Structure 1
């Protein structure tokens, strides 16, 4: 018994009579200076113990959500004594409702929990976990008006217990302790919120900088766990059809890893219609589920059993994304009931948007990495499959393939030598059939990009609605008929050369996009929202006068100047007739071997006719004439020229006012039509001789007003 209790009879015990006015003032002033949990613990251990002898003092705080008293601290007055603090706190939490009902019924001043109330609860079956043979439990509820703050409990020896004294002392001090505890909790809550705000800001910045799944796990495990405690987390993805989800990122410290069902479970897909996923999707909020309750569901997924076997008690589930476009879920698991308090759920809500953005960024990075790997694999296969083809092309289109010894063609040879080793853009201009593609290949083969592909695209041969997809590629589902992702010519040519043939035929809307690619050196596939860097050399070719097309408003001036960095003008065959004999010899050798005939040459008369002819189809037309002569020859010498008859019917109508370029193009097409007897498509047709698709030739016939009136 304390000294105070020894000198004062029990029937006179009264807090005011036990303490002098100065002592009460001193205690009140001392309580008013308490600001922290540690200071309050020290007061209970020293000052309160000096007033009421107790084995242990326990302070709990009231959780409005669970309506339980949760541990705040124990006084640890006698550390040498055996005292199961955890058991006492667990018991008080479990008996919270019974304690409050007993206090409410009594309506005692100071919200006292007396020994009589305690004994009655023991008789009613409460506090069965604790042996009470020699102990007494008393206390006071710490309450301000209707606001319940906490509970002070004192454990005393029965031999030293004097009910009236202890309970009246508690009644006097309860109001002071309530104010002190409320202030401490308010200060801690304020500090906690300030810390959370700083931590959430840092976490937001960290999530924005995520590069891989390892970064994501570091943020969750090292930083998010500081804001609320949990065992482990799982990030899952929703399938494209929205029907299933599957694990995406696992916590490396996940205690489930050693479970016998774990390896099989992580390979499974789970229905999004199961209520623990459907409800978060429907509400858009984080929801908490009891693992024990989930185990009662016969349809519970296997991961519920795995976590239950590892003593998990609760899981919190949040759908990531926005309504109608959720991409996944994050689950938090804990072994402690009540972990996911309202403040904890608020934290999860606070980071929900950052989690969703981080997931989207991870998926985008994964997709880009997958696409780049796919492109590299595709390019590697192409390169491997075309090694022999490239070698063949390198031999077939060697420098001597551009045949000629005249002054006009030598100027072309010089230009090739000047530009081949650089990465400069080249614009090759020349009539149809002059060998523009051969020149482009020669430039590529002599460049530092020769080990890579030269990819060709004929701008005049692709339908208007597909040319953008052909150039830049498209994503799956980007338009009707886009059943799978397709790489464009730019990506296929990455590291090599892209040859834009008939660039003058390119639609104006595509010209602007080509200009942007040339300026920024990056493309976007149709249907994609991310750029792809490219390293491509551009060689363009045209049979039009692009400067005239710019003046006419058919070609962008800025694109023209971008392409016209290094122009090469290829002379028509009529301006280099001195090269006809060597060209004839070259084509005879080339096609006679292919056809399987042995010819020694052409007659002098045939060679004379070749020199007199204007060759509107240029070198290509000469090659086809030689091939036809080989096929028709019945002896070792070609004696028939097989040239078009100049006295065939002329064109029925012809525009009166055409530019010199259009006039020449019209004349060229007319001559070739004559040589083919009016045949446009098919083997030996005018389109084949001119080296353009039949659809393009039909368009030109319509545009130039040329009507076919020729017969064999």
Structure 2
């Protein structure tokens, strides 16, 4: 072992050759430690060695490699030895500025302010010798030898340390370069593996799995969050979060997670403005802070890393991660940036897929809406109601027309009151066709014609499987009438349990399908009609008072036909023209006697009854003038007895009329020459009437 100064002088050339050969083979830190053990400790009397690496830009150094048999016995060794320290500490700046070996006592260093060297003194270290390490003429670190006694490093030792420093510099440079290469290869391998996984991501759940399993392990993360900008480009909201169950179940978290935040909140905008990762020291964040950052502080997060997620120049949002307390952040920041690029690719695919799915859903919904609209319009065409069907010039009808002009161009709810057959639906349609909503549908719901258990589904729609028989999703009348008008006929017949739901829809302007969880906004004007006395119904507890007041915004009372007899001639003329054309008879007028009968009659069925009477009279007429009309319970005119007509009820008249039409069509119900077409009603309605009136085949074909 070379301990005498003369021996060093005599064998320097052999030593240099030996060291030179040894350093050439060094590739990693282990090789470097073995070199120290085998070569340097045989030459110099020291117990510990530390090689440091400088960050000249930041003015700090950190231990790159240590071989400390003595000082690592100190209990605080790990907490002190591997921290970052300023280069200008009295030792390292002295070494960096010197071309020769620097030797200083630990006692002097402590006295000069290097308090973190107290642990070396406590561990028994008394003297240090240091030499700077250079690569291509630039200082990049130091080699420091630590001895347990002062005076360990003579002049020849110092000269020898300087002479071998170039070999050590070369060896350390090789190790650093190899580590960089290995690091980049490892990063490339990670990114390639991650890229393959990200390429397979199709939805949020799959992205969550990749980040939760791979990134948490790779970067030693406690939690993460992907925060995206909203469409308004002014706010942002959480898109995907991976946090602990404890945080997820906390009330504070639930209160902040679904909120929208201004993009210029002091956190989000800082990350967006940076091309690299931004590290936030949570304890030192300055108020005011957004709620989510206040939450970080409250939960005592130490650090949060944020990096912008962008495609080309288009900002999507930010990725935030919370590293574990013992995780070293800086060495992986570049890798973190590469990973964020992979996340952006997956995120772009997800957003694109979601947009495609949303557009497809919208197209299918629009298609469904069009199909429902087409079906509804075909039915409306079959019934053939037009604004011009409202006939009347008398005082009573002029009052009605005046009210129509007052309300038609508004969105106010209208309640139409009147006896059966007074034309409530025609008035509703007149309001709709004169309103700004005229280019959209007026959808009719007859509350009296539907079973109580189907009204809710009819109004609000239902999801597939929501009840027995719901084999597919169906949109309700409220959705069908969106941007248009919903006509609730016979509103007084609505079951009370549904009155509350209807009231809520009118107030909130939103619905939920039966069996569905999604809230759907609707823009619908409500027109309701009834032949009942709703005030009395409210008093008797049969109709909700709050719903009544919601509907009774603009009431229109339709007069019965017996109160507007002056309109009967005009109505008769209209119906003669209408049915003569559809039936195919050349009937043009009515006799004075028949008209007198019509004016004298009390018309319990109002205009609808008059319409049916004229239709039947045309069917029974043998000339171009109606001479006989068929009125039930009219004993005031002997003409009926003389002609053998007899007295019949409205149902009997309707039954006979339908039988006559069916006979003329040879029993054919629907089609271009069918009875339903001639009668001007849907074939389903005709089937219902045949069943209700008890019409048999024998009556048609006898």
Normalised to the residue count of structure 1, the TM-score between the two structures is 0.48
Normalised to the residue count of structure 2, the TM-score between the two structures is 0.49
